[in-house]
Amino acid sequence: MDVFSDPRNLDATVSGFLWILKLTGASAVLALVLGVLLAAMRVSPIPVLRLFGAAWVNIFRNTPLTLIIFFCYFGLYSTLGLTLSEDLVRNIYWLGVVGLSTYTAAFVCEAVRSGINTVPPGQAEAARAIGLTFAQTLRIVVLPQAGRAVVAPLGSILIALCKNSTIVGTIGLMESSSVMKDLINSYGNAGILIFAVFAGVFALLLIPTGYFFGWLANRLAVRR
């Protein structure tokens, strides 16, 4: 009895990885937008915004992701009644996206902020000297250069996000690791094989991702 020759098991596996990709995709976009905004807040001249950015990073970067995902389900949904979709599974998916992007945004923020530190202060001075406002200076001169400097670390964050998205399985989404657990429960003697297949698919997805970001970082590097 071969685990993966049963089409139902194969479907479950494919669908599990599709959930991982969907979680990663939506959370990556949200975390990137949110993380850049948070980084902008942390370097802004307005103390309230700086405080908000710092609080976000310190709270969510130092809380275990499992806790954050649990809070999204038991806190936001069960207790506070936040429903993001009428469909039960979709609802869990979106709650997971909220948790993952909240958490990942803190890391994106810190990567972007370190990128901002690689941009020589003269760049922002020159921008201000021709009359650009603070927001324009950040958007047109500083962030594009900071972003190029942090392509590789952002790649690492994306890879971590992809693997972290398996934690949404703990609130009931049938993503890859939940499927794996079910399969191992049913096919105990094929445990090592099942494990190797799931780990192999992650490797297959993520190793090229890492090389792609390395290549992109070189290509986009700002010459000084």
Partner 1 sequence: MTERNQADGASGADQPLIRLDGVNKWFGPLHVLRDINLSVNRGEVVVVIGPSGSGKSTLCRTINRLETINSGTITFDGRPLPAEGRALARLRSEVGMVFQSFNLFAHKTILENVTLGPIKVRKEKPESARQRALALLDRVGIANQADKYPAQLSGGQQQRAAIARALAMQPKAMLFDEPTSALDPEMVGEVLEVMTSLAAEGMTMVVVTHEMGFARHAANRVIFMADGQLVEDAPPAEFFTNPRSERAKDFLSKVLTH
- Three-state secondary structure call for residue 150: coil
Cβ-Cβ contacts under 8 Å for 60 (sequence gap 6 or more): 68, 102, 103, 105, 106
Tell me the closest approach of the beta carbon of residue 132 to partner 1, in angstroms.
6
Residue of 123, 156, 170, 209 that binds partner 1 (CB under 8 A):
123
DSSP letter assigned to residue 4: G
Residue of 126, 196, 199, 203 that binds partner 1 (CB under 8 A):
126
- Segment contacting partner 1 by CB under 8 A, of 6-14, 52-60, 127-135, 203-211: 127-135
Burial profile 21-39: b = 16 or more Cβ within 10 angstroms, e = fewer: ebbbebbbebbbebbbbbb
Distance of CA 51 to the CA centre of its chain: 23
Tell me the closest approach of the beta carbon of residue 138 to partner 1, in angstroms.
13
Residue of 45, 47, 81, 188 that binds partner 1 (CB under 8 A):
45
Give residues 131-150 in contact with partner 1 (rule: CB under 8 A).
131-133, 136, 140-141, 144-145, 148
Contact in structure between 197 and 203 (CB atoms under 8 Å): no
Q: Which is nearer to partner 1, 61 or 148 (CB)?
A: 148
Instruction: Tell me which residues touch partner 1 (CB under 8 A).
Output: 45, 120, 122-123, 125-133, 136, 140-141, 144-145, 148, 222-224
